Amino acid sequence: MAGAEDTGGLGRRPPTAPDAGLTGALEAIGTAAYVVDAEGHVIAVNTHAQQLLGRPAEAFLGHDAHDLLHRDAHGHPLPRSRCSMRQAFHAGRTAQAAGDHFECGDGSLLPVSWLITPYYVDGREAGTLVLVHARRPPGTDGRPEAAAEPMPELERLALLAETTTRLTSTLDVEETLRRLVALVVPRLADWAVVDLITERDEVWRTAVVHAEGDALVRHEDLQGPMPPVPEESPMPLSRALRGVASALAGPQTYQRAPDSGIAVEQRRLFEATGIRSAAIAPIRSTRAVLGALTLGRAEDPVDFTTVDLPLIEDIARRAGLALDNARLYQRQRKVAETMQNHLLPQMPRVPGLQMTARYLPAPDASQVGGDWYDAFTLSDGATALAVGDVVGHDLEAAAGMAQLRNMLRAYAWAHQEPPSRIVARLDAAVMHITDVTMATMIFARIEERDDGHWELTWTNAGHPPPLLISHDGLARYLTDGHGILLGTGVGAARTDASAVLPPGSTLLLYTDGLIEAAGRSLDEGLRNLRRHAAALAHRPLASFTDQVLRRVRHIRNDDDVALLAVRAPGRT
């Protein structure tokens, strides 16, 4: 802890009488604890800390805790710039760490883990509370302990709470594993190994990570496919992968003749990493065993013991629930993505025209939605273009979109009528024979005139207007032909509009997910789209479409987007 700049030595100031209430509160804590004031001087200490560190209360009170206790691994005073506790103390935040060293009253060095947090008594801030746990009992001279003490309950609960919070806040399997490893290394071990059972009941060594200083290093040469899980093997990893039990292991565990391919791989792991003590726990969900978590200690002189297993099992169980949720979500996304790919049409080949389309799902949706595009040949030889948006971006919206699109195709093919009449027929039927509540759309037909120019005729049902960009970068919205959206039951008259596409021009049909975002008005979105589309007019059509999507879609947008771009032939 930081003290006054001019304290010197141990940074002691005249001690004041300890607060009896504060000291009594510390005594109720079942582990070594002391409290420091705003300058880092000890103002209260409990008997657990006095016994653990071999110092009476008067040797603590009034002293700067950093100067008094903190040492490096060689017993030298720890520079304040390297003290992670001091940094957390000045930031006024809760923090914890393992692998530090305190000096005891007899001059011996004690490896410790600690937790600090602002401390309140009777609603007032009394200072900063420091909890200390010995990573080996004093007097063992660095030898591995025979029976390690369990992690203090407060520190254990803090770790489990952090594990739950961090692992359940992502639905990505790789990110879940990365967070899991960062939680346990180097706090509990030097090494972390994760073996996962795939959906085809194959075992894959997914992560082998080692703490090197402040960095976590992944050893990909030790990762990869694993042999099958033996049904009767008594070896620790095999039992964990069957969900039988957690267990301790060491190099000697796998020195005997291997009973399976997994045992051979475990021997290779221990030899390659230098792990001399390991704890292995099943990773379970509520439905199945998903894999196993192995924590290993190579540099740490303290062996794992059975008292460590309940905590590691709790962490593995939370990891199992998080991984199961992430897998279910990714499976749903894959199914939904496949469904969307089947729902979205292929662009027809129209001599003289270039056409391309893009669909981007909502970031937090299930990869399908109500935004759609379509292009198909009509019975009279013209080409139909459509883009629309059914309310919602989930499976229900996708189903409604498919109904609406198929009905539109049927009406447009069967009736050689202007777009407004086709959409009027669709609107009259939508509430009666589909699950669509409301929808917007643009329906258009494009055909080549006798003079070689291409003419667009369209009607707009409550949708953002099409954008027409000339080859020279002049952009204008086609605002005519606008009418009410589908599904209102009003039955208002619809109108058509038409425009000739200049040679080399680009027509862009899109859904509102491209231009709308929280905190941005619709007019701002439309201006932004026109500016970027004009600047990109010279690009090839595929590049034009990709860049419009990348530049214009706002990072905070939570809606899906559909784009349909058509380019007229240039001057001959």
Residue 473 pLDDT > 50 = yes
Where is pLDDT greater, at 4 or 89? 89
pLDDT digits (tens, 9 = 90+) for 310-324: 899 999 999 999 998
Tokens of 20: 């009896």
137 confidence band (pLDDT: 50, 70, 90)? very low
Q: Which residues pair with 384 in a beta bridge?
A: 376, 445
The total number of residues shown for the chain amounts to: 572
pLDDT score recorded for residue 266: 93
Answer whether 456's CB lies under 8 Å from 476's CB.
no
Choice among 64-78, 92-106, 145-159, 317-331 with the minimum mean pLDDT: 145-159
Distance, CA of 425 to CA of 422 (rounded, Å): 5
Answer whether 381's CB lies under 8 Å from 447's CB.
yes
Choice among 96-110, 118-132, 233-247, 290-304 with the minimum mean pLDDT: 118-132
| Number of CB atoms found within 10 A of residue 65's CB | 27
Residue 552 pLDDT > 50 = yes
Residue 460 pLDDT > 90 = yes
pLDDT score recorded for residue 218: 94
pLDDT score recorded for residue 192: 96
pLDDT score recorded for residue 10: 44
pLDDT score recorded for residue 342: 62
Residue 522 pLDDT > 50 = yes
pLDDT score recorded for residue 458: 98
Residue 139 pLDDT > 50 = no
572 confidence band (pLDDT: 50, 70, 90)? low
CA 442 to chain centre: 37
Residue 272 pLDDT > 90 = yes
pLDDT score recorded for residue 179: 93
What is the average per-residue pLDDT within 388-401? 75
pLDDT score recorded for residue 470: 95
First to last CA, the chain: 80
pLDDT digits (tens, 9 = 90+) for 37-75: 888 899 999 888 998 999 999 999 999 999 999 998 888
Residue 457 pLDDT > 90 = yes
CA atoms within 13 A on the CB side of 450: 0
pLDDT score recorded for residue 21: 67
* H/E run at residue 51: helix 47-53
Answer whether 37's CB lies under 8 Å from 63's CB.
no
Pair type for strands 454-461 and 482-483? parallel
144 confidence band (pLDDT: 50, 70, 90)? very low
Say what percent of the chain tops pLDDT 90: 50
Choice among 490-494, 495-499, 545-549 with the minimum mean pLDDT: 490-494
Answer whether 281's CB lies under 8 Å from 241's CB.
no
What is the average per-residue pLDDT within 230-251? 90
pLDDT score recorded for residue 135: 67
What burial class does residue 111 get, using C-beta atoms within 10 Å of its C-beta: 0-12 exposed, 13-18 middle, 19+ buried? buried
What is the average per-residue pLDDT within 385-396? 80
Choice among 93-102, 142-151, 155-164, 311-320 with the minimum mean pLDDT: 142-151
Say what percent of the chain tops pLDDT 70: 86
Instruction: Name the nearest CA neighbour of 121 among 8, 263, 18.
Output: 18
- Computed over every residue of the chain, the mean pLDDT equals 85
pLDDT digits (tens, 9 = 90+) for 62-72: 999 999 999 98
Tokens of 401: 């979109």
The answer, yes or no, to whether the previous bond of 77 is cis (omega within 30 of 0) is no
pLDDT score recorded for residue 18: 63
Highest mean predicted confidence (pLDDT) among 87-96, 133-142, 277-286, 390-399: 277-286
561 CB-near residues (< 8 Å, 6+ apart): 358, 359, 360, 371, 510, 511, 513, 514, 549, 553
Where is pLDDT greater, at 59 or 213? 59
Answer whether 50's CB lies under 8 Å from 134's CB.
no
Tell me if residue 178 falls in helix, strand or coil: helix
pLDDT score recorded for residue 9: 40
Answer whether 381's CB lies under 8 Å from 413's CB.
no
pLDDT score recorded for residue 546: 94
Residue 431 pLDDT > 90 = no
What residue ranges define each of the domains in the chain, with the CATH number in brackets? 20-140 (3.30.450.20), 157-332 (3.30.450.40), 344-567 (3.60.40.10)
